[in-house]
Structure 1
Amino acid sequence: MIPRDDLSQINLDELKAAINWQQQYKLIIQWGKLIQPKADIRLPTNLIKGCEIPVWLAHEQQGEQHYLGFDSDSSVMNGLAALLLVQVNGKTRTELAGLDLQHALRVLGLEKHLTPSRNNGLQAIIAQIEECYLQRSPAQHHRQ
């Protein structure tokens, strides 16, 4: 069983209401600390390709609900992953089918502040989440 992080402190509306990038960045770093180290998921099969730094994502299903565990050594990447996990963990495939993580991030406007490296890493994490949860085929996965 993947250890679950308590992401109940994450409020996307709070991030939207932040008056500038520095406030948003502070929240992302703060939320990154909610992701606890998970040595058990640091396996080659869970390593996400496309990230500059090593990041791991593990998936498990309990009944109809899906859960992801994430780990990295970067508090920023942990915070960005937490923003995604809070939207998907504990939901069913039906609930996740209509979820558009790309759109959710565009609404937050984070991509214009992140380095190209972090943006690429974030896109790789989203792609892996979609593969785990939505069971999209590669053709569907690359459609944007």
Structure 2
Amino acid sequence: MDYRDDLSAISLAHLRAASGWQQQYKLIIQWGKLIAPKPALRIADNLIRGCEVPVWLAHMPAQGRDYFALDADSSVIKGLASLLLVQVNGKTRHELSGLDLQRELHDLGLEKHLTPSRNNGLNAIIARIYQHLQQSAE
């Protein structure tokens, strides 16, 4: 089953160009709504530990490209996660080899506006993405 969301409206450049945190926050919430509910993903194997709200992530490699599907109850978490997914979905292993999601988020400057629990959750999502990528490469 294909759980991929259309994240084509998400632009890191647009987020960087937003005037202030309030505008960025509105964009993040708006982008979170692009991630549709996926009840079938809500199984123990997909649950990410370390997030304050439950977050489920599944990895679906297809035709030499990596895809991830995510579900959560929080629009903010889904919006923040969409910033990660837009950078990894549909990419080849070669395209992902030099990607540093931590650095990308740091460059956006979001961590200074997020609560420690949201930062921890975002880091847990990043760790799970890398875990899936490493497992599929073995």
TM-score bracket, normalised by the shorter chain, equals: over 0.9
Shift of 1:134: 3.8
**Which residue does the alignment assign to 2:69?**
69
3-state DSSP of counterpart to 1:69: strand
**Equivalent in the alignment of 2:33:** 33
Rounded to whole Å, the distance in 2 between the matches of 1:66 and 1:39 is 21
**Residue 82 (structure 2) aligns with:** 82
AA at the equivalent of 2:29: I
Number of the residue aligned with 2:60: 60
TM-aligned CA deviation for residue 135 of structure 1? 3.9
TM-score relative to the length of structure 1: 0.92
Taking only aligned residues, the RMSD between alpha carbons, in angstroms, comes to 1.1
Distance in 2 between residues matched to 1:134 and 1:112, nearest whole Å:
29
> CA separation in 2, counterparts of 1:109 and 1:115?
13
d(CA) in 2 for partners of 1:120, 1:2 = 28
TM-score w.r.t. structure 2 length? 0.95
The amino acid across from 2:125 in the alignment is I
Q: Following TM superposition, by how much is the alpha carbon of 1:18 offset from its aligned partner in structure 2, in angstroms?
A: 1.0
Q: How does 1:89-128 map to 2 (within 5 A)?
A: 89-128=89-128
* Cα drift, residue 19 of structure 1: 1.5
Q: How many matched pairs?
A: 136
* Alpha-carbon distance in 1 for matches of 2:40, 2:27: 27
Aligned-partner SS, 2:51: coil
Q: Where does 1:128-143 land on structure 2 (aligned, <5 Å)?
A: 128-135=128-135
Counterpart amino acid of residue 18 in structure 1: A
Structure 1 residue 93, shift from structure 2 partner: 1.1
Query: Which one-letter code corresponds to 1:105 in the other structure?
Result: L
The answer to whether structure 1 residue 3 and structure 2 residue 22 are counterparts is no
Distance of 1:42 and 1:31 partners within structure 2: 21
For structure 2, the 5+ residue unaligned runs are none
CA deviations on 1:28-86 (whole Å, 9 max, x unpaired) are 00000000000111000000000011000000111201100000000000000100000
Q: Structure 1 segments of 4 or more deviating over 6 A?
A: none
